Amino acid sequence: MSVSLTLPAPAKLNRMLHIVGRRDDGYHELQTLFQIIDVCDQLTLTLREDSEVSLTTPVSGVAHEDNLIVRAARLLQCSSGTPHGVNLTIEKQLPMGGGLGGGSSNAATVLLGLNKLWQLGLTREALAKLGLQLGADVPVFIHGHSAWAEGIGEKLTQVTIDTPWFVIIHPQVSVSTPLIFQDPELTRDSRPITMARALQGGVPEWRNDCEAIVRKRYPPIAEALDWLAQYAPSRLTGTGACLFAAFESEEAAQTIAELAGQRWPTWVARGLNTSPLQDALGC
């Protein structure tokens, strides 16, 4: 009988994103507030009798060896020296390149799931360090909690924030994150703020410094942001393309989502402070 785990890979929102500097290596110094939401991909990890790593549900447009799911499994396999292999399957709900962290979350779920399936006993800190090799957002999904983040997004402080209902819109364009961060007009010198000040929320602290450039370069995103702003303050998550607004009740969010859904792919999601992945793993 095969041994397998089926686990969620939740999305995140950047409730705010400030760019406070640029490092010599080209990366940007950020301040951001991550919030996990309850919209998830789902991954199944099945133990193999050999050492192969196989993704049995290929993701369109992504080569097998380039997929973060496969890369995460191989990285953990190599670093731990385990003889085990795994079959991986995924049911995608999160759009690729949407700013919701889907790829990073998938990688985190694989690392946490395989740590259990392969009985490696690695700490969350060790897994987060490995995950950082795959992407700056991977550690927040490994720690699995709302977090204030600095550095390139890897210096995390666990926080507890409000948990509204969100309407999330995908304007069906693909945003190139490298191009946004390379844009000469991008704001790179926002004045740093304290975590305490950020957690007070509100404008102007809760803004996304990428939004002005994304609006200019991607008119469909600007259109969707302006449309959603009729009902509640709208904001980009990450570099987009997804955008969101917060509502006090599920009913209010559903009402707006039904209207938005006539034009764009739209989700209603609940903000969380603890990842459903932690619940699924029992930790």
For residue 137, indicate whether it is catalytic: yes
For residue 155, indicate whether it is catalytic: no
CB atoms within 10 A of CB 191: 7
Burial 59-88 (b: 16+ CB within 10 A, else e): beeeeeeebbbbbbbebbbeebebebbbbb
Helices and strands in the chain, H and E counts:
10, 10
DSSP secondary structure letter of residue 109? H
Candidates 35, 19, 39; CA nearest to 27 is: 19
Q: Which listed residue (12, 38, 41, 209) is catalytic?
A: 12
Is 258 in contact with 247 (CB distance < 8 Å)? no
Collapsing DSSP to helix, strand or coil, 166 comes out as: strand
Q: How far apart are CA 87 and CA 105, in angstroms?
A: 18
Backbone phi, psi, residue 131, to 5°:
-60, -30
CB atoms within 10 A of CB 94: 23
CA 155 to chain CA mean position, Å = 15
Q: Which listed residue (38, 41, 137, 209) is catalytic?
A: 137
Supply the residues annotated as catalytic.
12, 137
